[in-house]
Structure 1
Amino acid sequence: MVEAALGGAPSQPALSPAAPVDFYFDYSSPFAYLAIMRAGELGPQVRWRPILLGGLFRTLGTPDVPLFVQSPEKRRHTMQDLDRQAARAGLPFHFPARFPMRTVLPLRVTLAAGSPPPLVRALATAMWAEDRDISDPAVVAAIADSLGLDGAALVAAAETPALKQALVAATAEAEAAGVFGVPTFVVHTRERGPQLYWGADRLTLAMAAAGGDGSAM
């Protein structure tokens, strides 16, 4: 972004990721939205891992909404940085009128559907580009229906004990893997084992590590 501001055109490395990557996300994070829309660049071996960020934060003792405890100066910078990253990626971005939003339902629906990337991207876009209320069962069902899924069945499944426990378990697994925020990429390299990368702006490093670039590990 600095090069672009100076009038340059930074080159994009040609990378061929191969190592398995766990991609942890929650729809509640604007930075996770930016990563969700680009996570496909990690290749078909990426495993989409929805987790409940609020639950993880409570376990770790982190404020539920870190943005709210930032200084005014840092909050202004965070909002500007979101706009910059979205513009750089060519993504529509509009901070939603409802924030923070309860994302338990769309996360459980995602798990119930098997975490298909098109559904993940559609739900993230609905919140962060279209200002739709994805805590509303009717909205979530309609989004799933638009992708050829059975929205009503998925919403119903999200209320079952099995899916409730599945989200709890997924969040606990993320904590065990060292995840402390989203988006997080855990690249399972042969050379050094799992390598954790946090933040939408670390996607290129995660791709390099997945492709075997030791300098990114």
Structure 2
Amino acid sequence: MAKPKKQPRWYFSLRSPYAYFAYRDLTERYPDVADAIEWIPFWEPDAVTQKLLDADGVELPIVPMSRAKNFYILQDLRRLSKLRGFEMTVPVDRDPNWEISHLGYLVAQDAGKGREYIDAVYRARWIEGKDITERATIAAVAEQLGLDADAVANASDDDEIRARGAAALTRSYKDGLFGVPFFVHGFNKFFGVDRLKPYVAAVRGEDPVEGDIDQSWLGEFIELPELVTPGGDGGIAGGCA
């Protein structure tokens, strides 16, 4: 497998349904690549983390989601989940603080259970419809994984973890991230779940083949999904793909 000077990496968000699709595809279809790349969390920072970013002149591509885009995503989620053979839910996020789940990941990662944590939090959010911005939800995930529930659920209260989180967001800024999922291999960048196959080929040192990007669903119209319920998610910074 080709190795560029910097380790290939991807930016995931526990908030984003498209990052969830990319996670499923990456771990289920391309486990060798999942093991070879660096996993870096990305989220919309709260006021405390934003102050740390402001001090370093970091301006993340945070944009509000329009109503039209919100309805489009509801349609798209049904398309993509159906293609993958599973159902999903879209929980309502009321005044969310994304530090809780994403900084909790850093604690789980330190304990050697970062991937297990991601899987459990994604399941809680997209399968069970739980609110992952609640400390109680993250504490339950930590207990399930045999981690220190207080340390994981209250990671946002730890100044050192906060600083590490801000550093991760700064890396996304320097890598030119404008949405998630976002993949980097050397100087090459790949945005969106539909760019995962070309990214896999790049990491493996292979040439991309025709048909790597599936666009067969373009132009298809599907009524609002019954299995996906509307939520109050304002959108991922820079948009989802």
Interval of TM-score (by shorter of Structure 1 and Structure 2): 0.7 to 0.9
Distance 1:62 1:161, change over 3 A: closer
Match of 1:50 among 33, 41, 44: 41
- Residue 138 of structure 1: aligned partner: 136
Match of 1:194 among 171, 187, 193: 187
Distance 1:43 1:176, change over 3 A: same
Distance 1:90 1:147, change over 3 A: farther
- Give how far 1:157 is off: 3.8
The residue type paired with residue 27 of structure 1 is: L
- Give how far 1:98 is off: 2.4
Q: Which runs of 5+ in 1 are unaligned?
A: 1-16, 188-192
Report Cα offsets for 1:77-113 as digits up to 9, x if no partner.
3322221112222333111122673311110010122
- Residue 7 of structure 1: aligned partner: none
- Give how far 1:201 is off: 1.8
Counterpart Cα distance in 1 of 2:134 and 2:70: 28
Match of 1:95 among 72, 90, 94: 90
Distance 1:155 1:97, change over 3 A: closer
TM-score, normalisation: structure 2: 0.70
- 8 Å CA contact retained: 1:133, 1:139: yes
Bigger drift between 29-38 and 148-157 goes to: 148-157
Distance 1:90 1:18, change over 3 A: farther
- Residue 25 of structure 1: aligned partner: 12
Counterpart Cα distance in 1 of 2:138 and 2:62: 28
- How many residue pairs get aligned? The number is 189
- Give how far 1:60 is off: 4.2
- 8 Å CA contact retained: 2:135, 2:154: no
5 Å matches for 1:172-191?
172-187=170-185
TM-score, normalisation: structure 1: 0.77
Counterpart Cα distance in 2 of 1:215 and 1:38: 17
SS at structure 2 position matched to 1:197: strand
Q: CA RMSD in A?
A: 2.4
Match of 2:21 among 11, 34, 40: 34
- 8 Å CA contact retained: 1:112, 1:158: no
5 Å matches for 1:1-217?
19=3, 20-40=7-27, 41=30, 42-53=33-44, 59-63=59-63, 65-66=64-65, 69=66, 72=68, 74-98=69-93, 101-114=96-109, 116-187=114-185, 193-215=186-208
Counterpart Cα distance in 2 of 1:183 and 1:172: 16
Q: Which runs of 5+ in 2 are unaligned?
A: 210-241
% identity of equivalent residues: 29
Report Cα offsets for 1:182-213 as digits up to 9, x if no partner.
111112xxxxx331111122111111111113
